[in-house]
Structure 1
Amino acid sequence: MSFLSNPVYSIDPSKKSLEEIERILKDNPQIKFVSLMGVDLGGNTTDAKIPIKIFLEDIEEFLRQGVQTDGSSVVLPEIATLGDAKVDLLPDSQSNWIVDYNYDHPYDGKHYVGTLRIPAFLVHNGKFVDSRSILKRALSFFEKKVKEVMESNPHLLANLGIEKVSDIESFLFTAATELEFWVKTPEDSEDIEQLSTSQNLKEQYWKRTQGTVRTALEKTIEIMGRYGIEPEMGHKEVGGVNSTIGVNGEQNHVLEQLEIDWKYSDALQAGDNEILVRELVQDTFTSFGLEVTFAAKPIEEVAGSGEHTHMGVAAKLKNGNTINLFSPKNLKEDYLSLIGYGGLLGLLNNYEVINPFVTSSTDAFNRLKPGFEAPVCTVASLGNDVKNPSRNRSVLVGLIRDLDNPMATRFELRSPNPLSNTYLVMASSYQGMLDGILAIKHIYDPQLLENELSKSAQTEGVYLEQNRQYRCEQDIFKDFSVHERDSLFGKTPETVWENFNHFDKHEKKSATLLNGDVFTESLISSFKTATLDRWKEELLHRIIPSNMDIIRSFTKSHNIEDTTDLDVVRWEKITKLKNYLVKDSLEQSSLFTRLRDSLNENNLKKASELQKEMDCIMAELRNLYASYKRNII
């Protein structure tokens, strides 16, 4: 990949007239296509090559009408059905447009063929049904309702140092994500023990990158800058092992975990930027012969990949000033403003119905396990002391503060992964925050809200649930047993079905998502159907077959000459577990057979229980076989 010229990389249509846009495109004839990027409920993006001349024939009409597509090919079950599949792709004229260059397709000696990618909305029967439109509605509704509650509760304004609602020009929803991912040379297999040891010794974290990985990382960061994304950092993460150099001088056996961070932007643009960065990483590293995975837990027993999501809200005043709605007037006296406390309380109290949008796959649940710095409890940290901000990496939500910068105050949701649908994560989170703000609107004293957040599990809350603790400044993993965590912070779901069952178990919290028609019952049902169908398919056709392959690889290695009684005992245990998982008999079906039957019969509750049992036995079997092999000469 090389850059032969300095072409246009992005267009901000909100700052340019149609005439200017037309001139830019005519001055850059290498832009041969236009594509509308809609994002369905599964987080998938559309990409259709439309000749640019069609766009140039009547730009205004194209932006007004968009194009039609077959909605049965996107993830909108129960909405875009086979009998009613027409979906309109409507361009978003307020978002940033980017030019996607194909570095395998030269246009001339100076340029490559480019596609103008325009973020879009998906419209079915006159209703906006895509992920981007859900987030847009959430932001609009949040601003409307918070302004209303400020109007009727002026103490909320006074707590922020704002005189009256009419002084506010607009709200600014700032958001940022960070991208962790694994890269490897094709067809190389991982050594779990080496990876685990390297992780425990912290041999890779923040170390200097080398060879093709270094070049690909630098290229990616360079290209991000060309698109105006403003990269802040790229570095090694905790996972990985050292590569080797072959006889031909090429880097071999690459297996590394990396992270790229970039500057915050408004919430909708943050979602668009994340998609672009994922595509840049994929294209760039692939061009260097490296495989990329954004899976949450690509390698068992090694650190997974997270995507911490930062969210904040500010008010832009008509006098030009900007006030962070989450920051207190005095950063050394209070952790948060009244609205900030309400937002955090709402995020925690409603997390049962936010979590399905965050953690929607078995892969995602595999990451959220103790021992890998991934959150397992619905609990937040404010910091050990209001005058000394700290960072607790073991909690679900961290409060980010800077005593010298009130604009830095924000919430860090630590549970998302690179394949979470960021638009829906943020939309559901802002809906939850709004519920908390509305619930505390009558409270004048921030200390009362800090007490509410800091209550013990035995204390009845004004807004939060009794028998639950929501704040912790200790290490969740080291300072509490599993039983203590479940007792204090609530038992968290372990499977996709358990997570989505919360929509039915917590009807009042589910109704929070429906406020303002941000989500609708049909959209939630469509998302639920799509996700549970994927869960079933992955169990049937990926997870069970993969486990079968693992079990078949566990073969007998000891013989009469060098065996010990311990070898015999261990192998008997291994054989018993293998048979329980796989082998049917006249008297009893194997666990795998019972799991398949439950899924095919749509008995999802039973399938969920069997999946948990399968995961537990597979972990026991892997550990037992590793011990068995270590004792073989």
Structure 2
Amino acid sequence: MFNDLIFSIPKSDHSEKCIRKTLTEHPEIKFVSLIGIDFSGNDTDEKIPIRIFLDDIDGFLKGAIQTDGSSVVLPGIATLNNAKVDMIPDTDVNWFIDYNYENIDFETKKPIGTLRIPCFLIHDSKAIDSRHILKSSIEHIEKNLMKYFNDYPHLLEPYGITVDDIEDVYATAATELEFWVKTPEERAHIEELSTSQVLQEQYWTRTKGSVRTALEEVLDLMDKYGLESEMGHKEVGGVKATLSESGNLTHIMEQLEIDWKYADALQAADNELYVRILVRETFRRHGLDVNFLAKPINGVAGSGEHTHLSFSLKLKNGKRINLFAATGKTFLSIFGYASVMGILKNYEVINPFISCTNDSLRRLKPGFEAPVCIVTSVGHSVDVPSRNRTILLGVIRDLTAPLATRFELRSPNPHTNTYLALATMFMACNDGIAYAITNNKTEDELFAELSKQAGEKADYLEKDRAYRSEEDVFEDYTEEERNRLFGVAPNTVYENLLSFDKHPEKLEVLKSGEVFTDKIINSFRSGVEKRWITEIIARIIPNHIRTIRSYKMLHDVEKAYDVDITRWKKINELRYYLMKDSYSSKSLFSKIHDAVDAGDLASISDLQVEMDNKMQELRKLYIDYKTNLLDI
């Protein structure tokens, strides 16, 4: 079935003639959908009959379609009294065909397809969507790099070229997708998952049954879409499935990872969005649920989406040069060192775009290789590339393949808005590069500044901070040392957003070239705050209530030991403290509701931290209580 389908229309074939020819030859493509990305990373997906598109392709591509912007996350921009948003198709990226394998066309005997066209969202004649912000950040840094090459021609001498040899500057990116897959309506015990992880029973082990079939099908489909899959494997989390009497595997609970080839940054973000769709739909066809949450299960490794980026030159002779790769006996080039420094220095205002949900911050805790410290690692020596997995920003080097030199930001998760994440990183790189070049810094000078000790004055990086460590930041530093050297990680979404207020000078870095504006940042912030509070009230607290109600007394009072009675008493007191009101006092949950009604964001944040700690304590107490009972 797959071999009779067309899976994408490359950007080279976006002329009206080529589009019409392709769609006419594939009548199974029945619909077209314009894909705009709001500030939360949500993508639009409407179904427009393909005949409307074919009737006026040129008009459609110039923006014939409009949508209600108040229905997506663009608060303060697309409002109820000014909600009209134009959708302008992007003809400079590949378009994908999304097939519904459960709806077979009667005439062609093929699954019905929808042509997905990425677009820009235009409001009051201005682009206001995540895709356009990323595109603007790329254009901004590419323009600045070309200006530096013209103004500082010695920068190109190590490469043996002049500015006239350059055809273009490219910002490239790639992501890795981790996710949990399970049998619907079935759950594994947290203790079982945690034990399996500690024993490393799942990492890179063999996939079986429907999981193996779905994974292989996804990798095959990715190649057909031109995404060039590189690997699919089990990750650290999961438990062994159970074989039913019918011979099928049940009680599946596994964590998987899929990797694919890098691309130009905007295309890479589009690719990642479609891979998620492929994964979810393919596994669902095989009777499996897929979960993209950053931390679906407390006490077990979460799912990350490590994001890679680099810059390269394309020369007129077809050759490519990686701007991060060293040209001599150093770890990185001037551009590489400067970009690392830019991201680390400005990370406080990048982080709100990376980790903007309750779920994302639950993952970013010490342990499980979660990156919580603003620090990098470049390697103990130039000849030995670093692979320190405890740091935030990794430098990936392959001594035999300089073109592969890149950075890996380890904090994003599958629900991070990749478009905004990359845009903020590119803007921070731009800031670091501007500092290095305009101050005539050498590789050795930048390396020395990056490697400075806390308290040592520097021209760009902050005096009281350290930014590089080749050690395990969790094992070799105390919590107090981590906080002092690398900064205090936010506990809540609110604390993360406060960085916009605490570091206005760093916020200006994002606003360079009007890539981010006050209006965009305020809209993003408003949407994140609303989602943060709504999740606490409508999801987190109700889930906690169900958990608390499920924690019942299990011991027989006549057979119980004092330790059982004491443990239950403590559990019950904690249950009452969390959710039971009295005439004289309110529960913790009620205090949170009151803080929400009062609009007291600081109190909501403080109470959320207390709630999370109390729930973690309650879960542990109940596990210990159950473990000591013989008859339950």
- Shorter-chain TM range is over 0.9
SS at 1:419 equivalent: coil
Alignment-derived partner of residue 468 in structure 2: 471
- State the alpha-carbon separation in 1 of the partners of residues 336 and 3 from structure 2: 47
Alignment-derived partner of residue 140 in structure 1: 139
SS at 2:365 equivalent: coil
**What pairs with 1:9-408 in structure 2 (closer than 5 Å)?**
9-107=7-105, 108=107, 110-158=109-157, 160-330=158-328, 333-408=329-404
User: How far 1:385 sits from its partner (Å)?
Assistant: 1.1
Amino acid in the other structure paired with 1:360: C
User: How far 1:279 sits from its partner (Å)?
Assistant: 0.4
State whether residues 178 and 259 of structure 1, in contact with CA within 8 Å, keep that contact through their aligned partners in structure 2. yes
Residues 323 and 389 of structure 1, relative CA distance in 2, 3 Å threshold: same
State whether residues 13 and 21 of structure 1, in contact with CA within 8 Å, keep that contact through their aligned partners in structure 2. no
SS at 1:468 equivalent: coil
**What pairs with 1:611-622 in structure 2 (closer than 5 Å)?**
611-622=608-619
Q: 1:557 aligns with which of 547, 554, 557?
A: 554
User: How far 1:167 sits from its partner (Å)?
Assistant: 2.7
- State the alpha-carbon separation in 1 of the partners of residues 164 and 108 from structure 2: 56
- State the alpha-carbon separation in 2 of the partners of residues 489 and 560 from structure 1: 52
User: How far 1:125 sits from its partner (Å)?
Assistant: 0.7
SS at 1:65 equivalent: coil
Deviation per CA, 1:448-505: give whole Å up to 9, x if none.
Answer: 1111111111212211112111111111111122112111111011100000110111
TM-score, with length taken from structure 2: 0.97
User: How far 1:162 sits from its partner (Å)?
Assistant: 4.9
Deviation per CA, 1:293-329: give whole Å up to 9, x if none.
Answer: 1000111111110000000000112233221111121
- State the alpha-carbon separation in 2 of the partners of residues 504 and 550 from structure 1: 36
State whether residues 11 and 94 of structure 2, in contact with CA within 8 Å, keep that contact through their aligned partners in structure 1. yes
Compare 302-311 and 168-177 and name the one that shifted more.
168-177
Deviation per CA, 1:368-419: give whole Å up to 9, x if none.
Answer: 1111111011110101111111200000000000111111111000000001
- State the alpha-carbon separation in 1 of the partners of residues 557 and 243 from structure 2: 41
Alignment-derived partner of residue 482 in structure 1: 479
- State the alpha-carbon separation in 1 of the partners of residues 135 and 405 from structure 2: 22
Compare 404-413 and 584-593 and name the one that shifted more.
584-593
- State the alpha-carbon separation in 1 of the partners of residues 538 and 453 from structure 2: 45
Alignment-derived partner of residue 627 in structure 2: 630
Amino acid in the other structure paired with 2:30: K
Compare 239-248 and 315-324 and name the one that shifted more.
315-324
**What pairs with 1:540-619 in structure 2 (closer than 5 Å)?**
540-619=537-616
State whether residues 28 and 108 of structure 2, in contact with CA within 8 Å, keep that contact through their aligned partners in structure 1. no
Alignment-derived partner of residue 509 in structure 1: 506
- State the alpha-carbon separation in 2 of the partners of residues 352 and 16 from structure 1: 40
State whether residues 32 and 49 of structure 2, in contact with CA within 8 Å, keep that contact through their aligned partners in structure 1. yes
Deviation per CA, 1:142-184: give whole Å up to 9, x if none.
Answer: 01112223333334333x4254333322111111001111111
SS at 2:159 equivalent: coil
Amino acid in the other structure paired with 2:317: N
Amino acid in the other structure paired with 1:567: D
State whether residues 103 and 112 of structure 1, in contact with CA within 8 Å, keep that contact through their aligned partners in structure 2. yes
For structure 2, which runs of at least 5 residues remain unmatched after alignment? none
- State the alpha-carbon separation in 2 of the partners of residues 444 and 494 from structure 1: 37
State whether residues 96 and 116 of structure 2, in contact with CA within 8 Å, keep that contact through their aligned partners in structure 1. yes
State whether residues 34 and 44 of structure 2, in contact with CA within 8 Å, keep that contact through their aligned partners in structure 1. yes
Residues 374 and 600 of structure 1, relative CA distance in 2, 3 Å threshold: same
Alignment-derived partner of residue 420 in structure 1: 416
- State the alpha-carbon separation in 2 of the partners of residues 350 and 155 from structure 1: 28
Compare 558-567 and 192-201 and name the one that shifted more.
558-567
User: How far 1:109 sits from its partner (Å)?
Assistant: 5.3
Amino acid in the other structure paired with 1:293: N
SS at 1:430 equivalent: helix
- State the alpha-carbon separation in 2 of the partners of residues 9 and 301 from structure 1: 40
For structure 1, which runs of at least 5 residues remain unmatched after alignment? none
Amino acid in the other structure paired with 2:116: R
Deviation per CA, 1:590-621: give whole Å up to 9, x if none.
Answer: 21111111122111111101101111111111
SS at 2:567 equivalent: helix
State whether residues 33 and 117 of structure 2, in contact with CA within 8 Å, keep that contact through their aligned partners in structure 1. yes
- State the alpha-carbon separation in 2 of the partners of residues 98 and 563 from structure 1: 63
- State the alpha-carbon separation in 1 of the partners of residues 3 and 436 from structure 2: 56
SS at 2:4 equivalent: coil
State whether residues 307 and 415 of structure 1, in contact with CA within 8 Å, keep that contact through their aligned partners in structure 2. yes
- State the alpha-carbon separation in 1 of the partners of residues 448 and 65 from structure 2: 53
Compare 311-320 and 572-581 and name the one that shifted more.
572-581
| Aligned residues with identical type, % of pairs | 52
State whether residues 264 and 270 of structure 1, in contact with CA within 8 Å, keep that contact through their aligned partners in structure 2. yes
Amino acid in the other structure paired with 1:157: L
TM-score, with length taken from structure 1: 0.97
Deviation per CA, 1:487-540: give whole Å up to 9, x if none.
Answer: 111101110000011011100001111111111111111111111100000000
User: How far 1:571 sits from its partner (Å)?
Assistant: 2.1
Amino acid in the other structure paired with 1:149: Y
State whether residues 37 and 45 of structure 1, in contact with CA within 8 Å, keep that contact through their aligned partners in structure 2. yes
SS at 1:587 equivalent: coil
Amino acid in the other structure paired with 1:143: E
Compare 497-506 and 56-65 and name the one that shifted more.
56-65
